[in-house]
Structure 1
Amino acid sequence: MSLTETPAAPPRTFSQVVESLGQGDDPKLTLDEVVDAFGDRGLGALILMLTLMALLPWPPGGKAVFAVPIIILSVELALQVNEVRLPRWALKASLSRVAYRRAIGKALGPIRYVENLTRPRLTVLTGAVPEILMGIACVVLAVIMALPVPFGDMLPGLAMMFFALGVMQKDGVAVLIGVFWSLVTAAYLILIWATVAEIIQRLAGWFAHLFG
């Protein structure tokens, strides 16, 4: 290396990119800007970022705005597409940068903590076939997250976050944690479905008795 050359700066970590997105002159943070910020880091980083954004408090129907691009990216992961492709209308989706900074500020600590724990290990669980399966699972989980189910966003969100971490960091342990939260999500939905079915059955019996 010559005296005039300077060593290349190390790539920014995921948490550093997340924090930098809170800065900017535009009061709105667009999905297009998020995609540009992560560049060629891959689908895992974008799925993780969008899942974090979807878990912020939103008015009814707000989470579906993020569920759609997550589904598209998950399909691309399942199809092993290397290039991020999102429709123009999705890239225009935005949120207040002030609200983003406020929410992400509270989450940066846990994000950095988990980020420091992840590393390449059990890489047999992060190859092409596992990525295809994780992509399919994330499609289902994103649909569940958008449904109006009590606490129905947090559980699938956790599963997708760990799947995305596994893909991004080549960490098989994170993938296994994602599988665990996927199973918890499935068990919770079964419980909700059984409860709703029981309530409907009891109401039907009550009406039958009342008008019979």
Structure 2
Amino acid sequence: MAHELENIEEMLDRISEIEGENDRVSLGAIIEAVGSRSFGPLMLTVGFFMVSPLSGVPGMPTTMATMVLLIALQMIIGRDHFWLPAWLLKRSVTRKRLDKAMSWMKMPARHIDLLLKPRLAILVRSVGTYAIAVSCVTIAAGMPIMELVPFSASAAGVAVGAFGLALVARDGLVALFAYLWTGVSVVLIMRYIF
């Protein structure tokens, strides 16, 4: 079994190494590569897909919102291994699109990884973890509304990815950024709609 992820670059490397079938890579294969036993890497991966060029694939934002909701709810009830339905795990993307998304994220990943370090641990352990899970449920529940607002799904992806990254890097400062980003995004989306 692969060791736990420690940063974004390692996540991207694992995803890049996946061998697909018929020039397609399934969501199940991606989850297996990053680890299905830890909330942080899964949320980081989902957030990555929501802000990458893959977010333009029809149905991808809804698929990612479903994943966020299912994973976060299972985190709240205390499951130690995440279950996702087969129809979701079978969703796939072409290798070409996946490689394009990986290239697009490599440079920012390197810079972000340099800024990460364990700090403000209370925000990423125990009760802090549950607060993050509840925030992710709220974000996922709001995704249908976000379909109406251009680029708001990407804003949600930044928040989800930041929460996942905070858990992976044990960096509470990143969790604070994610809470702030979520609040500002909600206010802007509400102003746009109303």
| Fold-level similarity (TM above 0.5) | yes
Q: How far off is 1:12 after superposition?
A: 6.3
Who is 2:10 aligned against? Answer: 16
Provide the residue aligned with 1:199 in structure 2: none
User: Conserved in 2, the CA contact under 8 Å of 1:141 and 1:157?
Assistant: no
Secondary structure, aligned partner of 1:153: helix
Give the superposition deviation at 1:25.
5.0
Instruction: Choose 1 or 2 for highest CA Rg.
Output: 1
Distance 1:172 1:71, change over 3 A: same
Q: C-alpha offsets along residues 35-84 of structure 1, whole Å, 9 cap, x if unaligned?
A: 21123661111111122113324244331022111211111222232212
Paired with 1:164 and 1:185, the residues of 2 have a C-alpha distance of 18
State the distance in 1 between where 2:49 and 2:27 align. 10
Tell me the percent identity: 24
Contact 1:80–1:128, Cα closer than 8 Å, also in 2: no
Which TM-score applies when normalising by structure 1?
0.79
Relative distance call for 1:12 and 1:44 in structure 2 (3 A) is closer
Query: In the alignment, residue 95 of structure 2 is paired with which amino acid?
Result: R
Q: Which residue of 2 aligns with 1:175?
A: 175
In structure 2, distance between residues paired with 1:32 and 1:62: 14
Aligned equivalents of 1:95 and 1:120: distance in 2? 34
Question: CA 1:11 to 1:65, structure 2 compared with 1: closer, same or farther past 3 Å?
Answer: closer
Per-residue displacement from partner, 1:73-114 (whole Å, max 9, x unpaired)?
111222232212111221111111111101220111112221
AA aligned to 1:48 is L
Classify 1:138/1:58 alpha carbon distance in 2 versus 1 (closer, same or farther; 3 Å): same
How many residue pairs match? The answer is 186
| Code of the aligned partner of 2:156 | P
Give 1:142's aligned amino acid: A
Match of 1:200 in 2: none
Unmatched runs of 5 consecutive residues or more in structure 2: none
